[in-house]
Each structure stands twice: as C-alpha cells, then as structure tokens.
Amino acid sequence: MPVTALIICLLAVAMPTVGLAGSARMELSLAPDLVAEAEYWPGAADMPAIMIMHGFLQTREFPTVRRLAESLADEGFSVLTPTLTLGLDRRRQSLACEAVHTHSLQQDVAELGAWARWLARRAGKAPVVMGHSTGGVLLAAMLESGGGAAMRQAVLVSMVSFDRLPDGEGLAALRQRAAGRQAHAGDEIDVYSLGYCRKYVTTAAALLSYLDWDRGRLKRALIAADVPVTVIFGDKDEQADRDWLASLASGGVQVRGVAGADHFFDLAHEFDLLDEVVKVISESDRG
C-alpha cells in the first residue's frame, strides 16, 4: 500500500482484546484489510507513558523488548508495545529474511506514529518513546517527520543503522544496483542485503527507503531532535560503533554504556538496562 494511502486509512481508535494478566491486546485499524496489534499495560496516572519499538522484522514478543516492557509496567509506568504489521494483517510472528517484503520505512514510521498518537490520547500525556536496535532508527525518522504525537523524550537501546550490512556486497554497490533496478524494472522483486539479512527479498524502492537511513542521516536527525535523546548501549555489543556514538555525544546526544552487556541485554543484564532506563526518565523529570 502506498504511504499516503496508509496514512489516510489510519484510524484513531484501538479496540482492546484479552491479553496477559495486567495487560490488554490492542488493535488499530490501518485499512479495511490491515489491523495492527500491540500490548498495553495501564500504569499509574502520575507516571510517564512509554512506547517500546522492536527491532528489524521482529515482534513485541522479542525477549529484550518483552522483559523490559514487563519490568517497566511493574514499576508503575503505562507501557505500549506495538508489533509493526509490515503489511501483514495482525502479524504475530517474526519474518524471515527470504520472505517477500513490500513494506517501506515510511510505512513503518506512519504506523508507529499512529500508535504514538493513540498512546498520547490514552495516557493523556506526551509519551516516552523507546526502540531496540533498528527500532531506534524508526523512532528517529518519526521524530524528524513530526508524524507522531508530541514526545516527552526518546531512549534508544543498542541502536544500529541500516547501513550496517552483512559481509559481501558493499553499501555503495548495493545502492547503485537498487537505483538501477528501480529505474529499469520498477516494482519488481529482487534479492538484496539489508540489516542482518544476507538475502532480503524486496523491491528496489522499499530497500532504498531503509538504506537512506545510514549513520550520517541518523546522526543529523538525533542531534536536531527537539526532545531529549539518550542512547544506551552495552559495552560488549560488537555491533556498536564507538566512534559514531562519540560523535553523537559531541553533538549533544546523551550516550550511556552499560558494563558487560551485549546487544540484547540478556538475562544477566536485564535489570541493569531497567535501572538505566528508569534513571534516564527520572533525570528528565528533574531536568
């Protein structure tokens, strides 16, 4: 579906269905044949509301996101964890790289913005937005576009940009091939690389929508954001670009490392991540 059509079709009402204890599954109608789902934990009225975005091709059940959401809900925060549809009605499973992907970054961002606006209305306050891995890139794009509700702050965990590719075809060559394919073959499907996927099946236009968000553009968007931005990374994360993180800090973005943690903040470090997130939000309250 074109981005403009998706935005026009977004509805402002999400309907609750049965969820786990303390939470409810929410449904957001995006089009007549496309419904997005999220899980929502209502919290204390005087506590911030938080939306957490999963990483590339994953769902809200991804362990890093799920553990953090439940822990923040236990702390009294209102928490919303959407699953991007990626063009699939009520998507509940992660997608394989080799599946046919027709979704674009702009469609992802429009959908995420709809959930952010829903949470702002439901909680009656500007939400904190959080993202894990490439989920942080989508939030940066949303902040740049102004497509979400007014935001309180952004907290980006283990952020990775879309120009980090598997070994093989270089970024410049990949962009050139996709641009040529787009010019001559339009919307035809082909096999490319993207994120951790060595074989990512999509259209050239959809691929380029993600590749446009390289480290340079991401840095500019985060530094220019009109809300406080904090990047949290594990100091054992092999995907973290230390020089790039240092350049963010030089530009005014708050960058925090967590000792011993990897990209996924596994069980040994989940409470370290929770403590860091709560500290960031609390410091913003005092600031």
Homologous superfamily of the 3-161+213-286 domain (CATH): Alpha/Beta hydrolase fold, catalytic domain (3.40.50.1820)
| pLDDT tens-place string over residues 143-178 | 999 876 789 999 999 999 998 887 767 899 999 999
Q: In what order do the strands lie in the sheet with 78-83?
A: 14-18, 24-31, 34-41, 78-83, 49-53, 128-132, 153-157, 229-234, 254-258
pLDDT at 14: 53
If one counts every other C-beta atom within 10 angstroms of the C-beta of residue 191, the result is: 12
Tens-binned pLDDT, residue by residue, of the chain (287 aa) = 444 344 434 443 455 554 445 789 999 999 899 999 999 999 999 999 999 999 999 999 999 999 999 999 999 999 999 999 999 999 999 999 999 999 999 999 999 999 999 999 999 999 999 999 999 999 999 999 987 678 999 999 999 999 888 776 789 999 999 999 999 888 899 999 999 999 999 999 999 999 999 999 999 999 999 999 999 999 999 999 999 999 999 999 999 999 999 999 999 999 999 999 999 999 977 65
Helix (H) or strand (E) holding 27: strand 24-31
Among candidates 78, 22, 31, 19, which has minimal Cα distance to 50? Answer: 78
Give the residue extent of every domain in the chain.
Answer: 3-161+213-286, 165-208
Are 9 and 35 contacting, i.e. CB atoms less than 8 angstroms apart?
no
Are 89 and 43 contacting, i.e. CB atoms less than 8 angstroms apart?
no
Q: Report which DSSP code applies to 227.
A: S
Are 134 and 215 contacting, i.e. CB atoms less than 8 angstroms apart?
no
Are 191 and 200 contacting, i.e. CB atoms less than 8 angstroms apart?
yes
β-pair partners for 29: 35
pLDDT at 164: 84
- Residue whose entry in the numeric block shows the structure tokens 């992802």: 108
Rounded distance, CA 136 to CA 141, Å?
Answer: 9
23: exposed, middle or buried (C-beta count within 10 Å: 0-12, 13-18, 19+)?
A: buried
Name the pairing type of β-strands 197-203 and 189-194: antiparallel
pLDDT at 22: 78
